[in-house]
């Protein structure tokens, strides 16, 4: 299952991505927001990040105006590797090399067509492992050092 969430800055892009998920028979859980009223992005980033970190959901997608705020907030949760991607190459690379488990997008900087290409690349690229696993394990070691 995929976790998805946004703040008001990502509210219009979220239904476009949800339609993609439904069209591709990808199960998802929507963590909000459910209106375009101003809200705080860390609240939704935390919900999605906790769902992914706990194993309730395999991966997540977060959307805000730029994708930066939700990325910063989600990466505060141990076990999360949230990556802001504005192009298809980065979406493939972050899955293949970083084993990123949350994709973040910026509705105000990425149009819906490109956003769907990025989502598709993120969801359909596997982690390469090997030398990349060594590097991801080093990230986990950093987390273990600083997340008490």
Q: Inform me whether the pLDDT recorded for 38 exceeds 90.
A: yes
First to last CA, the chain: 28
pLDDT band for position 1 (cuts 50, 70, 90):
very high
The predicted structure's pLDDT at residue 49? 98
> Phi/psi at 24 (nearest 5 deg)?
-105, 15
Encode pLDDT of 50-71 as tens digits.
Answer: 999 999 999 999 999 999 999 9
Encode pLDDT of 112-137 as tens digits.
Answer: 999 999 999 999 999 999 999 999 99
Q: Inform me whether the pLDDT recorded for 148 exceeds 90.
A: no
Residues with a known catalytic role: 64, 97
Q: What residues pair up with 105 in beta bridges, in sequence order? A: 63
Encode pLDDT of 68-87 as tens digits.
Answer: 999 999 999 999 999 999 99
Mean pLDDT for the chain? 98
What does pTM read for this prediction? 0.97
């Amino acid at each position: 299952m995929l976790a998805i969430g946004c703040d008001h800055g990502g509210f219009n892009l979220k239904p476009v991505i949800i339609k993609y998920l439904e069209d591709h028979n990808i199960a998802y859980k929507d963590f909000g927001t459910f209106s375009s009223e101003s809200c705080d992005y860390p609240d939704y980033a935390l919900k999605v990040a906790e769902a992914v970190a706990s194993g309730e959901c395999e991966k997540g997608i977060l959307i805000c105006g730029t994708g930066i705020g939700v990325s910063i907030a989600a990466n505060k949760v141990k076990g999360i590797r949230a990556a802001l991607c504005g192009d298809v190459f980065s979406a493939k690379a972050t899955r293949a090399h970083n084993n990123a488990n949350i994709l973040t997008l910026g509705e105000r900087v990425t149009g819906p067509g490109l956003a769907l290409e990025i989502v598709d690349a993120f969801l359909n690229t596997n982690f390469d492992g090997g030398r990349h696993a060594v590097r991801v394990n080093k990230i986990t070691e950093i987390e273990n050092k600083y997340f008490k």
